[in-house]
Amino acid sequence: MQCTACGTANEGAARFCASCGKPLVAAPAAPAPAAAAPKAFAATAVMGAVMPALPPQQQQPAAFAPTQAQPAYSPPVQQQQGAYPQPPQQPAYAPPQQQPMGAQSQGRRGPAICAACGAAFVGGACKRCGGTQSTPAPIPTQGVAWAQIRLSIKCMTCQRASPLSRLDLDGRYYCYGCSRELFFDADLWKEDILFVGSALGDAYWANLGTFPPWPPSDPTGDATDDLAEHVGVDDGAILLAVLERCREMGTTSGGMTIEHGGMSMGSAGTRTRGIAVAISPGHPLCPQCKAPLDTSYPTDGVVVASCPRCHTSETYRAPPAAKGLCNELCGVISPEHVEGREAARLIAQPGSAALAVSCPKCGSGLQLAPGARVTNCPYCKTTSVIPDHIAAAGAPPPATPDPFWLAFRAPSAVRTGLVESGQKAAVAASEAATAKPPDSDSSSRRKLAEKQKLAEAQKSRNMALFGIVPAVVVAGGIIAFQSGVLHKDANKKHEGDHAVNTTPSSATPTKAAKVGPVTLPSCTCSFGDGQSTPQVTLTLQAPPSSSDSSKGWSLDIDKTSGFISEGRTAKLPMAAGAVLPPIMGAPPPTHLGIACDTGIFVLVADKTATGWSSVTGAWKWNATLPASSVDGADAGPITTPGTDYPGGCTPLAVKSAAVTLNLSNGKHVSLSLKDGKVH
């Protein structure tokens, strides 16, 4: 027996060590090793299925037999990065049962979208980012279709294109070439981007069988003009191109690219109209793992997006004025539109001229990756947005603008316009089929009238050939311009636009003029002095007689600066809860209070006040008063020739961008014209 203290070997029966005298302790006998269960008979998990073990009489004792619950014998199935796990015997579009998904992902899966950017995947490749891998898109819920926007703005000074990855309704962008913030014509949102995104998204899901079938899109003549008026655009060339692309969307085409040039001159100064925008239907992806996001829409303008794989969630909020530009717009997804997310800050370093980028919450320094738009604080874990001027410092503009996403609720304005056009055509065809043949006298009168129209058209054509062209009236003289050199639309003059032939053809009778809105003389207000600042006069216009009182309300905008005057008319859009236009079937208020200031036009009726942009006529805000306003007191019906509207306006005094309103309860409140807040 060996001593454990000194190592001396002693006799087997000895109780004490012969060298050190310490008691000897016998070591316990080692148990016999247990026989391991044969690997061929162990219960294991292979590709998610458990193989049965042998009958009980052939198994090892339970204490040694491996089971499915032991992790060592149940290795996880390896999957490719960015792909959803697909259990055996499940449909190609069915999500795995063990993975919690949102409401969108519980049903069948939709068409292929790019696995890298989310744009429509047509023809085996993504036309936006060049990706070659696809993933199924979720089926739309609540009739909402998404459109990816990639937008770049061309500077008038340096001629360089700079990206814009947010819905900036003020027209602000950061020029990479000039290294400063500039402005573009914000009307391009309505003219070239929003209505196109809504139409392409609607047509994409219609052609794939999810939305109702896309209506026939072949309007001609007056039908095209009516459709353009219904959509709210002036450029018929873009509208016709959109109609053609809608027929191909989802089958042979996955998007549309629009390039625009020139500049605009208006009350806001000279702004570039040089843009390049790529619009594609699809579905937004998680910025981390690239899984299609589950989206919900609690209210208009608010989107809650959650990732079924990362289990993260963000709330995005669109600008309040966006609804006035496009009634179908219901959300936006972009890093700059995350609710509650702040921008990183620049702070000066003590004793140095250097600046450091700091966290907006804890003030710690942030490490920025080249071209990054968002970053996380390493200390407080706060996510912040990198402003344009910081992200662009020392970096060239990206080759492809970062995408952002807009959500549109179907049906689109283009679809509803096509449906109305088809209904009118069907009624006209039915009336023509049942009409009696004209007698010889009426036929002669009709032919004589057609000859007179052709003569007038030829006269107009000859005047154009001899250089008698439309002109802009300017105090102190006349400036003549030809179509295509200076194109003056309903808003302002655009330089560099494509030429449009406005001269009637000798083979086509001239179109009868449409009756326009009627000016209300009492509903006029103005601001500015015309010298140091432009004088802007705003006049409310009512629908013409025998027309729908819920349509045709507009704002006449006249601007005078020095010797130059210009005018335009802006249609007041439908907005829930606004003073005007009234809801379908409801009479308009007949007694209004009117006020205006730089950038804003306000009407007050009863307990409601509404503000619109004095530049574009876009809806800005609604305000609810504690009691009815008595400033627009009843003075009896007012008759204005040309309209059935019997009301008028009472001017409200503006002081420090606010008006004081007298209420029916004997009290008064102050209404801010800038944001509609009541104090």
- Do 139 and 233 lie in one domain? The reply is yes
Residue 180 belongs to some domain of the structure: yes
List pLDDT tens digits, range 113-122.
999 999 999 9
Distance CA 372, CA 239 (A): 36
Please give the angle made by the CA atoms of 498, 499 and 500, to the nearest 5 degrees.
115
Distance CA 252, CA 249 (A): 6
Q: Which of 326, 361, 386 is the last residue of a domain?
A: 386
- Do 481 and 350 lie in one domain? The reply is no
Please tell me the predicted confidence (pLDDT) of residue 524: 93
Please give the angle made by the CA atoms of 260, 261 and 267, to the nearest 5 degrees.
105
The structure tokens listed for 225 are: 């003009």
- Do 534 and 653 lie in one domain? The reply is yes
- pTM for the model: 0.53
Distances 247 to 252, 456, 653 between C-alpha atoms, Å = 9, 38, 53
- Do 119 and 212 lie in one domain? The reply is yes
Please tell me the predicted confidence (pLDDT) of residue 584: 63
Residue 116: Cβ within 10 Å count: 19
**Closest by Cα among 264, 261, 305 to 285:** 305
Distance CA 524, CA 424 (A): 37
Q: Return the HEC string of 356-368.
A: EEECCCCCCECCC
- Do 375 and 272 lie in one domain? The reply is no
Q: Which residues in 224-251 are b (16+ Cβ under 10 Å) and which e?
A: bebbbeebbbbbeebbbebbebbeebbe
Distance CA 86, CA 618 (A): 49
* Backbone angles phi and psi of 356, in degrees to 5: -125, 145
List pLDDT tens digits, range 589-643.
888 999 999 889 999 998 999 999 888 888 889 999 999 998 865 555 677 888 8
Residue 281: Cβ within 10 Å count: 31
Q: Return the HEC string of 474-526.
A: ECCEEEECCCCCEEECCCCEEECCCCCCCCCCCCCCCCCCCCCCEEEEEEEEE
* Backbone angles phi and psi of 461, in degrees to 5: -65, -40
Per 3-state DSSP, what percentage of the chain is helix, strand, and coil (rounded to 5)? Answer: 15, 30, 55
Distance CA 378, CA 384 (A): 12
- Do 109 and 60 lie in one domain? The reply is no
Residue 426 belongs to some domain of the structure: no
In sign, the C-alpha dihedral spanning 96, 98, 102, 107 is positive
Q: Which residues of the chain have pLDDT under 50?
A: 30, 33-107, 440, 459-513
Using an 8 Å Cβ cutoff, are 48 and 87 in contact?
yes
- Do 508 and 539 lie in one domain? The reply is no
Please tell me the predicted confidence (pLDDT) of residue 146: 97
Q: Which residues contact 18 (CB under 8 A, 6 or more apart)?
A: 8, 10
The number of distinct structural domains making up the chain is 6
Residue 367: Cβ within 10 Å count: 10
* Backbone angles phi and psi of 21, in degrees to 5: 80, 5
Residue 574 belongs to some domain of the structure: yes
- Do 654 and 561 lie in one domain? The reply is yes
Residue type at position 132? T
Q: Which of 476, 494, 513 is the last residue of a domain?
A: 513
Distance CA 515, CA 521 (A): 18
Please give the angle made by the CA atoms of 533, 538 and 544, to the nearest 5 degrees.
160
Distance CA 102, CA 289 (A): 16
Residue 528 belongs to some domain of the structure: yes
The domain containing residue 10 runs over which residues? 1-30
Distance CA 445, CA 451 (A): 10
- Do 322 and 355 lie in one domain? The reply is no
Residue 15 belongs to some domain of the structure: yes
**Closest by Cα among 230, 407, 445 to 331:** 407
Residue 543 belongs to some domain of the structure: yes
Residue 98 belongs to some domain of the structure: no
Distance CA 112, CA 115 (A): 9
- Do 589 and 536 lie in one domain? The reply is yes
Distances 583 to 132, 231, 489, 550 between C-alpha atoms, Å = 49, 19, 29, 6
Q: Which residues contact 385 (CB under 8 A, 6 or more apart)?
A: 335, 336, 338, 341, 342, 343, 344, 373, 374
- Do 473 and 613 lie in one domain? The reply is no
What CATH number does residue 572 fall under? Answer: 2.40.128
Please tell me the predicted confidence (pLDDT) of residue 529: 80
- Do 297 and 237 lie in one domain? The reply is yes
Residue 112 belongs to some domain of the structure: yes
